[in-house]
Each structure stands twice: as structure tokens, then as C-alpha cells.
Chains A and B, each alone.
Chain A
Amino acid sequence: MFGFGKIRGGVHPETHKDLTAGRSILQQLPLPRQLHMPLSQHAGVAATPLVGVGDRVLKGQLIARAAGSMSANVHASSSGVVSAIGPIVAPHPSGLPATAITIDTDGEDRWVTLEPITDPFSMDPDTLAARVEAAGIVGMGGAIFPAAVKLRQGRRFEIQTLIVNGSECEPYLTCDDHLMQERAEAVVDGARLVRHIIEAYRVVIAVEDNKPDAFAALTKAAAPHGMVEVMTVPTQYPMGSAKQLIQAVTGREIPAGQRSNDIGVLVHNVGTVFAIQQALRYGRPLISRVVTVAGGCVQSPHNVEALLGTPLRELIAACDGLKGSPARLLMGGPMMGQIVPALDTPVIKGCTGLLALTQREVNAHAPAPCIRCGRCVDACPMGLVPLEMARHSGVDDFEHAQEYGLRDCILCGSCAYVCPSHIPLVQYFEYAKGELKERKQSEQKQEYTKRLISERAARLEQEAAAKAAAKAAKKKKARKSRSRESAES
């Protein structure tokens, strides 16, 4: 079973993980004065607010309910008064507004009454999945896919292997690493709970081999429960991508267009598993997460456990502020993270890290022409031809870009990382994918309007027919009565 571990391509970026190594998670952050809880911190539809301006809320209280199945609940992360429901600068590179519930905290940090479960293993998996859903848990590795949806989907498949993704491959980030080191028991417990819910045959916690401490802690924690395997996988970016991790752990590939469920595998991030454990054992909804605050511009890099909705500024303050002005301010890791438009934006469920990088660390240069060196082809973990994809995207020839693999691209950035010409390959792909999505939407809209028009035409026709029929009936009636009259006369 340990014979696999190979993925294609990939890169070995400098990890910079030593910045936060050996520093335990900072837990007691000063309570922020204001918390911004965006309604959309997950993939899918934004949640619907349940509170109004002026309402008092308690810590852990449900303040926005999932809208439909592809959505997630939002809970107040501290007690206080709702002071606004409206647009804030979204934690998104575009800097566009997003709707959020703003809570003025009262400093009491008073919890709602929680409902812990004493023995979750004796409970019905569907009930447990519903509890996970109620807790508003999403994929904490950055994918922000609603966890309950994934669990429910998993239950419809025969899951051979549950993989707990502890191969935090992004440079700088150590939040999962520290979670695994400091809360190994809870992670193992969470893994067992998820296994119970989806009835998997086998549980593997996969840890990259550059995290020996986490591996040791997990092995120790897993020892009493025979069924949880802790496994090392080679340190290589993007090992943390589900497709690559599955390949490394099971040796199998997910067929194009299918999901990991289809090959009997389910992957959950350690952060997600931990949140699920907290929700099931203690009834705690998802209101905080561990965030790595690091980068050359951070005075004393740390992992901090931050309440969701905390402005990023507070996190930096907790790490003694910035030194110098950062070249890039990022949410997430440097490979797939996104630029933060402002420091007022809040910590959200998928925020794995907050990085303030120096120019040297970013190592950005003006793009030069492509010299077709093929390094991107060698680096691509999906076996695509990034240089051709970018060239065709650049001239809006999306058909050819797709032919060279745009659809299969996971936007991991390995190609752009190695490009000696510093071409922003990922941005080309983002652009092309965005354009294609827009086109698809406009096509769908057109189909929709066509349907509406034909429905309207049918309705008008029907109405006209009904009118005509009514008219005819009236006439007939009139004639009848007239003939009766004449007969009578």
C-alpha cells in the first residue's frame, strides 16, 4: 500500500514553513469590536439572514440559514448586537462588495446553549450528517464545499477509502500541521466519526513527509483505534489537491468528469474533520478556525485561532504588526491564494492563511515572450500543455485552449511557478474559464428566454382560444334563447 505515492509533474517551492515552526497556535486573541459575517463563505448559494439590524445575538447562534441544499449556515462567532446587514469589501481579489452581517460585540462572548452528543457512534449517520449541516461546516482547506453535502453524497457510494488530507502542500501554511500536532486526538476522533457517517472501509490520514511531528502525534493518537492508518506522502506541490492525493494514496485516477466518490474515495481536509468532531462531540458550530499568519513582512509569524468575521487587521496586530510594506497581501497560500483587497475584510471559513510577502519572496517580474521551453508541460500535474492553453486563451480561441486541456486544469499554478518568462499562465486560464462560463450562462439564458417566449405564445393562444370559445358559447346561448323566444312566440 505504501508503494504508490507518485504523482506527475509538480514543483518543489521553497516551503518557508519554518517561519511558524515550533510556535503553538495563538488562542486568546483580543475580542474584535466588530465582526463581519459574509453570507457567502461557501461554494453555492448565499445564506439567507435570519436576524435584523438591532437584534441581540449570542455566540454560536444561527444568524443566516442555508438557502437550499448547496449552501451553508452562518453562525454568530461572538455575542453582541447586529449593527448592519449590507455590503462590505469582499475577501476577493476583485474588491467587489459582498453582503455581510455586522455584529458589534458586547465583550461578554456568551454562548448559546450547546447540545453535545455523548456517544455519536451510537447514532444514525444521517442524523450526524444533519448535525454537520446545522453547524455550517465547509471544506476548510480552501475548497469551501459544504461538508454535509459531501457526506451525503458519500453515503450514496460504496466508499473504500476515506482520505484525511493532511498534506498541506502550500508554502508558508502550517495551520493544518499545527492542528495535527496539537489536536491529534480530536483529528483522529473526527476521522473516525466521518468514517462512521459514510461507512468507509478504510481511513487514511495522509501527511506530507516534511511534517514528522504531525505524523508522530497522529500515529500516537491513532494507535488505540486500529482502523486509522497514518501515512506519509512525498513532499511535493500540489500534493494537497484531492486528485493528486488520491493518486498518491490509492494509485488511482479519478476519471475525467467523475468525482472521487465514483472510485470509492472521499477526501476531507484535517481542518474540516476537526470542525466536524467539534460539532458532533460538543455541538459547537463553525465559528472559528486556525489561520497561518506569515510572510517576510510579518513581525512574528504565528498560527492563530481566529473567530470567523475578525478583520484581518486584528490578526496582523496579534502577530506584532508588519515590518515594511508588503509587496503582496494574500489570503491562502502563495500558490493558489488570492490577493486581499483591504485589511478590513474578515476571516472567512476558507481562510487558511494570511500572508504578507516581500518583493523578494514574490519574485515577480514583467512577463517576457514564451520561449516554449516546456517546463510548464513538465510541471503540470494533470498532463496538460499550459503554454498552448495560454497562447490560445490570449487570442480568445477557447476551443483550442480546451483542446489542450483547459477543462482539466486545476489552477494549481505549478506552470506559472516554473515559467522562466514569468507569464501569468494561471490568469490566462482564469480568464478563459471565466469567459467560457459567461458564454455558457448567456446560452442558458437564451434557452430560458426561448422557453419563456414559447410558453407565453402558448398562453396567449390559449387565452385567445378561451376567449373565442366563451364568445362562441355566448353567441350560441344568445341564439338558443332567441330561437326559444321565437318558438314561444
Chain B
Amino acid sequence: MDYLLLFISTVLVNNIVLVKFLGLCPLMGVSNNLSAAFGMGLATTFVLTLSALASWIIEHLLLVPLNIEFLRILSFILIIAAVVQFTEAVVRKTSPLLHKNLGVFLPLITTNCAVLGVALLNVREQYTLIQSLVFGMGSALGFSLVMVIFAGLRERIALANVPATFAGAPVSLVTAGLLSLVFMGFSGMI
């Protein structure tokens, strides 16, 4: 039950994108097409879950025993980069079209602050292995949910005649803000 609560909380209430404002780069970059956004969501889910797991292992089996916590960020980035490279190889093999759609944003998951953020938050909140995994997956699903919703909205906005001053990134950013406003309705739950 606790895990379920943690999961719902990370998906809806403390959404990584709309409430913690992490991972905005892919949100803006890849959400102009629904299928790409969905693919990005899946890829990020994969990376996030895997890196949350791996970073926990590194943290607790390597850094803490050896007393070298000061290497935390460095080693986490190393792990994330490796996981992303691995994911890219997989995506390229399994879905060339998705690979093309995601383009540069796939390797850029490396610098997706959500990924590093979740790994670091796991340490800060002193989550257990399972909790880290749930937190990682919840965050990733929250990220995917927002990506997909946002892509749907942007496909509609793309057809609207937005005033030239706001067309493109401005209206997307405002929409992200409004969406975040909407998600505030879930605050107070849990």
C-alpha cells in the first residue's frame, strides 16, 4: 500500500515535470508529435527505471562502503550515459522510425535532468532499493503521461492560428504552465 501511495504520488501529485519542473528539455523538444512523444516516454521510462536501480546499487555497494560519496554525481552521470547509449542501440535496432523521430533527443536523455534528479532524490530521500525503483518508475510514468498529454495539446495548437508573437515555444511554455496549474488540483492528495 505504501508503494502504491508512493507511486500515485510521484505520477500525479508530485509530477516530476509539472510540479518539480525537471525534464523540461525533452518536453519542449519532442512533444510536437504524438508518436514521438510516446516513444520518448517509453525510452525515458526505460532509462529512468534502469538508472534509478543502477545508481542505487552503485551508491550503496560502491560509494558508501568506499567512502567516496563525493564521486556521486560523476559516477551517476557515467551510469546514465551508459544506460542511454544502451537504450539508443536498442531503439535503433527495434524501431528505426522512432530512432529517426527522436533524433538528437534520444542521446540527450543523458542530460535530461529528470534522470539525474531522480537518482539524486533517491539518495536524498534515503529510499530503499524497492522504493527507488518505484520512485524511478513512477517519475518516468508521470513524465510519459505529461509528454503524451502535452503532445496531444501541441498537435492541436499546431493547427491553431496562434498570434505570431506567441507561436512556437512561447505558447508551448505557457501551456506547460497552465497544465502545471491544472495538476495543482491534485495537491493535498497523500
Contact = CB atoms under 8 A, between A and B. Distances in A.
**Touching chains A and B, CB distance < 8 Å:** yes
Interface of A: 391-392, 395
B159 interface: yes
3 contacts: A391-B159, A392-B159, A395-B159
Contacts, number: 3
A425 to B, nearest CB: 15
Contacts of A395: 159
Contacts of A391: 159
Interface string B155-169: 000010000000000
B157 to A, nearest CB: 12
A455 B159 CA distance: 46
Nearest to B158: A395
Interface string B133-174: 000000000000000000000000001000000000000000
Q: Chain B contact residues (Cβ within 8 angstroms of A): what range?
A: under 10
Nearest to B159: A391
Interface of B: 159
B127 to A, nearest CB: 44
A395 B159 CA distance: 8
Which 3 residue pairs spanning A and B have beta carbons closest together? A391-B159, A395-B159, A392-B159
A395 B155 CA distance: 13
Nearest to B161: A369
A205 B159 CA distance: 47
A392 B159 CA distance: 8
Contacts of B159: 391-392, 395
A302 B28 CA distance: 64
B188 to A, nearest CB: 33
Contacts of A392: 159
A251 B140 CA distance: 49
B67 to A, nearest CB: 58
B7 to A, nearest CB: 35
A391 B158 CA distance: 11
A138 B159 CA distance: 43
B190 to A, nearest CB: 35
Nearest to A395: B159
A391 B156 CA distance: 10
Nearest to B155: A400
A428 to B, nearest CB: 13
B33 to A, nearest CB: 11
A391 to B, nearest CB: 5
A392 B158 CA distance: 11
A391 B155 CA distance: 12
A391 B157 CA distance: 12
A254 to B, nearest CB: 32
A395 B160 CA distance: 10
B92 to A, nearest CB: 25
